[in-house]
Protein backbone atom coordinates (compact mmCIF):
# COMPACT_ATOMS: atom_id res chain seq x y z
CA UNK A 1 0.00 0.00 0.00
CA UNK A 2 1.24 3.44 -0.83
CA UNK A 3 0.37 6.65 0.93
CA UNK A 4 1.55 10.27 1.07
CA UNK A 5 2.02 12.22 4.30
CA UNK A 6 0.54 15.65 3.64
CA UNK A 7 2.39 17.17 6.58
CA UNK A 8 5.83 16.63 5.03
CA UNK A 9 7.47 18.65 2.30
CA UNK A 10 9.44 17.28 -0.59
CA UNK A 11 12.81 19.04 -0.56
CA UNK A 12 15.56 18.51 -3.16
CA UNK A 13 18.66 17.12 -1.56
CA UNK A 14 21.78 19.42 -1.98
CA UNK A 15 24.70 17.79 -3.80
CA UNK A 16 28.18 18.24 -2.09
CA UNK A 17 31.74 17.61 -3.35
CA UNK A 18 33.24 14.20 -3.02
CA UNK A 19 36.72 13.72 -1.61
CA UNK A 20 38.05 12.74 -5.04
CA UNK A 21 36.63 15.90 -6.62
CA UNK A 22 38.17 18.11 -3.93
CA UNK A 23 41.53 16.37 -4.37
CA UNK A 24 41.45 16.99 -8.13
CA UNK A 25 40.61 20.68 -7.64
CA UNK A 26 43.39 21.14 -5.10
CA UNK A 27 45.86 19.41 -7.43
CA UNK A 28 44.85 21.67 -10.32
CA UNK A 29 45.25 24.77 -8.15
CA UNK A 30 48.68 23.55 -6.99
CA UNK A 31 49.78 22.97 -10.59
CA UNK A 32 48.59 26.42 -11.66
CA UNK A 33 50.32 28.01 -8.65
CA UNK A 34 53.56 26.18 -9.44
CA UNK A 35 53.38 27.31 -13.06
CA UNK A 36 52.77 30.89 -11.95
CA UNK A 37 55.69 30.76 -9.51
CA UNK A 38 57.91 29.30 -12.20
CA UNK A 39 56.97 32.07 -14.60
CA UNK A 40 57.56 34.65 -11.87
CA UNK A 41 60.93 33.15 -10.92
CA UNK A 42 62.00 33.06 -14.58
CA UNK A 43 60.93 36.67 -15.07
CA UNK A 44 62.76 37.70 -11.90
CA UNK A 45 65.94 35.96 -13.06
CA UNK A 46 65.67 37.60 -16.47
CA UNK A 47 65.19 40.99 -14.83
CA UNK A 48 68.26 40.44 -12.65
CA UNK A 49 70.24 39.41 -15.70
CA UNK A 50 69.16 42.49 -17.65
CA UNK A 51 70.01 44.79 -14.75
CA UNK A 52 73.39 43.14 -14.23
CA UNK A 53 74.21 43.45 -17.94
CA UNK A 54 73.33 47.14 -17.75
CA UNK A 55 75.62 47.61 -14.73
CA UNK A 56 78.47 45.78 -16.46
CA UNK A 57 77.97 47.74 -19.69
CA UNK A 58 78.25 51.07 -17.85
CA UNK A 59 81.32 49.96 -15.89
CA UNK A 60 82.89 48.66 -19.10
CA UNK A 61 82.31 52.01 -20.81
CA UNK A 62 83.90 53.97 -17.97
CA UNK A 63 86.85 51.61 -17.53
CA UNK A 64 87.52 51.24 -21.26
CA UNK A 65 87.68 55.00 -21.76
CA UNK A 66 90.22 55.31 -18.98
CA UNK A 67 92.17 52.29 -20.23
CA UNK A 68 92.44 53.68 -23.77
CA UNK A 69 93.64 57.05 -22.46
CA UNK A 70 97.01 55.48 -21.62
CA UNK A 71 97.88 55.29 -25.31
CA UNK A 72 98.62 59.01 -25.24
CA UNK A 73 99.33 59.38 -21.54
CA UNK A 74 102.39 61.43 -20.62
CA UNK A 75 104.99 59.36 -18.77
CA UNK A 76 106.24 61.05 -15.58
CA UNK A 77 109.91 60.09 -15.94
CA UNK A 78 112.85 62.00 -17.38
CA UNK A 79 114.73 60.09 -20.06
CA UNK A 80 118.13 61.60 -20.96
CA UNK A 81 118.03 63.17 -24.47
CA UNK A 82 121.00 61.11 -25.70
CA UNK A 83 119.26 57.79 -24.93
CA UNK A 84 119.02 55.32 -27.81
CA UNK A 85 115.55 55.80 -29.38
CA UNK A 86 114.67 52.09 -29.14
CA UNK A 87 115.66 52.05 -25.48
CA UNK A 88 113.66 55.22 -24.80
CA UNK A 89 110.53 53.83 -26.48
CA UNK A 90 110.86 50.55 -24.60
CA UNK A 91 111.31 52.39 -21.30
CA UNK A 92 108.19 54.42 -22.01
CA UNK A 93 106.25 51.21 -22.68
CA UNK A 94 107.36 49.71 -19.37
CA UNK A 95 106.53 52.95 -17.55
CA UNK A 96 103.02 53.06 -19.06
CA UNK A 97 102.39 49.49 -17.89
CA UNK A 98 103.55 50.31 -14.36
CA UNK A 99 101.50 53.50 -14.30
CA UNK A 100 98.43 51.58 -15.45
CA UNK A 101 99.01 48.96 -12.76
CA UNK A 102 99.04 51.57 -9.98
CA UNK A 103 96.18 53.73 -11.29
CA UNK A 104 93.93 50.86 -12.45
CA UNK A 105 94.57 48.17 -9.81
CA UNK A 106 92.86 44.79 -9.77
CA UNK A 107 94.98 43.47 -6.84
CA UNK A 108 95.53 45.27 -3.54
CA UNK A 109 99.25 44.72 -4.12
CA UNK A 110 99.03 47.00 -7.17
CA UNK A 111 98.31 49.82 -4.74
CA UNK A 112 100.36 48.78 -1.72
CA UNK A 113 103.57 47.84 -3.56
CA UNK A 114 104.17 51.28 -5.02
CA UNK A 115 106.34 51.88 -8.12
CA UNK A 116 108.28 48.97 -9.61
CA UNK A 117 111.92 49.13 -10.61
CA UNK A 118 112.24 49.72 -14.35
CA UNK A 119 115.29 48.98 -16.54
CA UNK A 120 118.09 51.45 -15.99
CA UNK A 121 117.07 51.78 -12.33
CA UNK A 122 114.20 54.11 -13.19
CA UNK A 123 111.23 54.51 -10.86
CA UNK A 124 107.97 56.35 -11.34
CA UNK A 125 106.76 58.66 -8.61
CA UNK A 126 103.68 57.36 -6.79
CA UNK A 127 100.73 58.83 -8.76
CA UNK A 128 98.39 61.11 -6.82
CA UNK A 129 95.53 58.79 -7.79
CA UNK A 130 97.30 55.86 -6.16
CA UNK A 131 97.86 57.93 -3.03
CA UNK A 132 94.13 58.57 -2.87
CA UNK A 133 93.50 54.81 -3.10
CA UNK A 134 95.96 54.29 -0.24
CA UNK A 135 94.11 56.80 1.92
CA UNK A 136 90.74 55.19 1.23
CA UNK A 137 92.11 51.70 1.90
CA UNK A 138 93.99 52.71 5.05
CA UNK A 139 93.11 50.22 7.76
CA UNK A 140 91.18 47.96 5.38
CA UNK A 141 94.12 46.44 3.52
CA UNK A 142 97.12 45.40 5.58
CA UNK A 143 100.29 43.54 4.69
CA UNK A 144 99.36 40.74 7.12
CA UNK A 145 95.81 40.24 5.87
CA UNK A 146 95.01 36.93 4.21
CA UNK A 147 91.43 37.74 3.14
CA UNK A 148 91.75 38.76 -0.51
CA UNK A 149 88.35 37.47 -1.62
CA UNK A 150 86.90 40.87 -2.62
CA UNK A 151 90.12 42.63 -3.61
CA UNK A 152 89.31 42.87 -7.32
CA UNK A 153 85.81 44.23 -6.64
CA UNK A 154 87.14 46.72 -4.09
CA UNK A 155 89.80 47.92 -6.52
CA UNK A 156 87.11 48.43 -9.14
CA UNK A 157 85.09 50.50 -6.69
CA UNK A 158 88.13 52.64 -5.82
CA UNK A 159 88.73 53.37 -9.51
CA UNK A 160 85.10 54.30 -10.15
CA UNK A 161 84.91 56.42 -6.98
CA UNK A 162 87.74 58.57 -8.34
CA UNK A 163 86.24 58.94 -11.83
CA UNK A 164 83.88 61.51 -13.24
CA UNK A 165 81.70 61.23 -16.32
CA UNK A 166 80.94 64.74 -17.45
CA UNK A 167 79.65 66.70 -14.47
CA UNK A 168 78.75 63.69 -12.32
CA UNK A 169 80.60 61.09 -10.32
CA UNK A 170 80.83 57.64 -11.87
CA UNK A 171 79.19 56.26 -8.72
CA UNK A 172 76.03 58.27 -9.47
CA UNK A 173 75.14 55.64 -12.07
CA UNK A 174 74.60 53.02 -9.38
CA UNK A 175 71.73 52.80 -6.91
CA UNK A 176 72.35 52.33 -3.15
CA UNK A 177 71.36 48.65 -3.48
CA UNK A 178 74.17 48.18 -6.03
CA UNK A 179 76.89 49.34 -3.63
CA UNK A 180 77.80 47.40 -0.52
CA UNK A 181 80.56 46.13 1.75
CA UNK A 182 79.97 42.39 1.89
CA UNK A 183 83.14 41.54 3.83
CA UNK A 184 82.72 44.47 6.28
CA UNK A 185 86.30 45.69 5.85
CA UNK A 186 85.41 49.32 5.23
CA UNK A 187 85.79 49.18 1.44
CA UNK A 188 82.76 48.98 -0.83
CA UNK A 189 82.09 46.85 -3.89
CA UNK A 190 79.74 47.31 -6.84
CA UNK A 191 77.12 44.55 -6.58
CA UNK A 192 75.25 42.72 -9.30
CA UNK A 193 71.50 42.08 -9.18
CA UNK A 194 72.11 38.94 -7.09
CA UNK A 195 73.93 40.98 -4.44
CA UNK A 196 77.39 39.64 -5.31
CA UNK A 197 80.53 41.75 -6.01
CA UNK A 198 81.32 42.53 -9.64
CA UNK A 199 85.02 41.83 -10.27
CA UNK A 200 87.35 42.90 -13.01
CA UNK A 201 90.57 41.91 -14.76
CA UNK A 202 92.78 44.75 -15.99
CA UNK A 203 94.78 42.69 -18.50
CA UNK A 204 92.49 39.90 -19.65
CA UNK A 205 92.73 37.87 -22.86
CA UNK A 206 90.11 38.54 -25.51
CA UNK A 207 86.99 36.41 -25.93
CA UNK A 208 84.72 35.75 -28.88
CA UNK A 209 81.68 33.61 -29.66
CA UNK A 210 78.98 34.92 -27.32
CA UNK A 211 77.67 32.57 -24.61
CA UNK A 212 79.93 29.73 -25.78
CA UNK A 213 82.93 32.02 -25.79
CA UNK A 214 86.44 30.88 -26.51
CA UNK A 215 89.68 32.49 -25.44
CA UNK A 216 91.84 34.23 -28.01
CA UNK A 217 95.20 32.49 -28.11
CA UNK A 218 98.42 34.56 -28.05
CA UNK A 219 99.59 32.46 -30.97
CA UNK A 220 96.45 32.99 -33.08
CA UNK A 221 95.50 36.60 -32.57
CA UNK A 222 96.39 39.19 -35.20
CA UNK A 223 95.86 42.24 -33.00
CA UNK A 224 99.14 43.36 -31.41
CA UNK A 225 99.46 45.28 -28.16
CA UNK A 226 98.13 48.78 -28.96
CA UNK A 227 100.40 50.30 -26.32
CA UNK A 228 103.42 48.98 -28.22
CA UNK A 229 102.90 50.19 -31.82
CA UNK A 230 106.66 50.02 -32.49
CA UNK A 231 106.81 46.40 -31.27
CA UNK A 232 109.72 47.13 -28.95
CA UNK A 233 108.72 44.42 -26.47
CA UNK A 234 111.62 41.92 -26.76
CA UNK A 235 109.22 39.00 -27.17
CA UNK A 236 108.57 40.09 -30.74
CA UNK A 237 112.12 39.14 -31.67
CA UNK A 238 113.46 36.69 -29.09
CA UNK A 239 111.42 33.66 -30.15
CA UNK A 240 109.06 33.78 -27.18
CA UNK A 241 105.92 31.64 -27.35
CA UNK A 242 103.97 34.58 -25.93
CA UNK A 243 103.48 37.34 -28.49
CA UNK A 244 102.39 40.65 -26.94
CA UNK A 245 98.83 41.01 -28.19
CA UNK A 246 95.93 43.27 -27.30
CA UNK A 247 94.59 42.75 -23.81
CA UNK A 248 91.28 44.23 -22.68
CA UNK A 249 89.65 45.05 -19.35
CA UNK A 250 87.11 42.36 -18.45
CA UNK A 251 84.16 43.13 -16.15
CA UNK A 252 82.51 40.01 -14.71
CA UNK A 253 79.48 38.98 -12.66
CA UNK A 254 79.09 35.47 -11.29
CA UNK A 255 75.45 35.49 -12.44
CA UNK A 256 72.73 33.38 -10.80
CA UNK A 257 75.13 30.61 -9.71
CA UNK A 258 77.44 33.26 -8.18
CA UNK A 259 80.60 31.54 -9.48
CA UNK A 260 83.35 32.98 -11.66
CA UNK A 261 85.45 30.26 -13.26
CA UNK A 262 88.27 32.50 -14.46
CA UNK A 263 91.87 32.30 -13.30
CA UNK A 264 93.03 34.80 -10.71
CA UNK A 265 95.60 34.92 -7.90
CA UNK A 266 94.80 37.45 -5.23
CA UNK A 267 98.25 37.46 -3.64
CA UNK A 268 100.16 38.17 -6.86
CA UNK A 269 102.67 41.03 -7.07
CA UNK A 270 102.82 42.46 -10.59
CA UNK A 271 105.55 44.81 -9.44
CA UNK A 272 107.89 41.82 -9.00
CA UNK A 273 107.27 39.93 -12.25
CA UNK A 274 110.65 40.37 -13.96
CA UNK A 275 111.81 36.99 -12.69
CA UNK A 276 108.60 35.15 -13.61
CA UNK A 277 108.53 33.19 -16.89
CA UNK A 278 111.14 35.42 -18.48
CA UNK A 279 109.00 38.56 -18.26
CA UNK A 280 111.14 41.39 -19.69
CA UNK A 281 110.24 43.84 -16.94
CA UNK A 282 108.19 44.33 -13.80
CA UNK A 283 104.46 45.05 -14.19
CA UNK A 284 104.28 42.77 -17.22
CA UNK A 285 100.70 42.25 -18.52
CA UNK A 286 101.55 38.91 -20.18
CA UNK A 287 103.08 37.13 -17.24
CA UNK A 288 101.94 33.51 -16.79
CA UNK A 289 101.59 31.98 -13.34
CA UNK A 290 100.97 28.36 -12.26
CA UNK A 291 97.50 27.32 -11.13
CA UNK A 292 96.73 24.58 -8.58
CA UNK A 293 97.59 21.96 -11.19
CA UNK A 294 100.83 23.76 -12.11
CA UNK A 295 99.43 24.84 -15.49
CA UNK A 296 100.76 28.22 -16.63
CA UNK A 297 97.87 30.63 -17.13
CA UNK A 298 97.14 34.24 -17.93
CA UNK A 299 94.85 36.04 -15.49
CA UNK A 300 91.29 36.03 -16.80
CA UNK A 301 91.60 32.77 -18.73
CA UNK A 302 89.00 29.97 -18.25
CA UNK A 303 89.67 27.97 -15.10
CA UNK A 304 87.81 25.52 -12.85
CA UNK A 305 88.26 27.73 -9.81
CA UNK A 306 86.10 25.68 -7.45
CA UNK A 307 87.47 22.34 -8.73
CA UNK A 308 84.01 20.90 -9.44
CA UNK A 309 84.93 19.47 -12.83
CA UNK A 310 83.20 22.19 -14.83
pTM of the model: 0.82
Residue 181 and residue 187 in contact, taking contact as beta carbons nearer than 8 Å: yes
pLDDT of residue 132: 94
CA distance 209 to 218: 17
pLDDT of residue 162: 94
Q: Which helix (H) or strand (E) holds 197?
A: none
- Which bin fits 300, alpha (ψ -120 to 50), beta or left (φ > 0)? left
DSSP 239-290: --S---B--EEEEE--GGGT---B---TT--GGG-TTSTT-SSSS-TT--EE
Closest CA to 66 of 280, 251, 260, 265: 251
pLDDT of residue 66: 95
Residue segments in the chain with a per-residue pLDDT below the cut of 70:
1-17, 142-148, 207-222
Beta strands in the chain (DSSP E): 164-165, 168-169, 179-180, 189-190, 199-204, 207-208, 214-215, 248-252, 289-290, 296-297
CA distance 218 to 254: 26
pLDDT of residue 3: 45
CA distance 142 to 126: 18
What residues contact residue 25 under an 8 Å CB cut-off, 6+ apart?
Answer: 17
C-alpha 229 chain-centroid distance: 27
pLDDT of residue 298: 87
Amino acid sequence: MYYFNTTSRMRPRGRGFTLIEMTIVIAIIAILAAMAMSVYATAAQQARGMRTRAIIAKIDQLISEKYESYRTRQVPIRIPPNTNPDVAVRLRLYAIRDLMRMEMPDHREDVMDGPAQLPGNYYLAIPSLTRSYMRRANGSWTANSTDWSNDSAECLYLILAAMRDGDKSALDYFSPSEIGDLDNDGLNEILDAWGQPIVWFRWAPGYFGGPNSAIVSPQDVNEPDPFDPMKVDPRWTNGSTVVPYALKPLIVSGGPDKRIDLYFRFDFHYSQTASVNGAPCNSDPFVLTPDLNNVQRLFGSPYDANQDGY
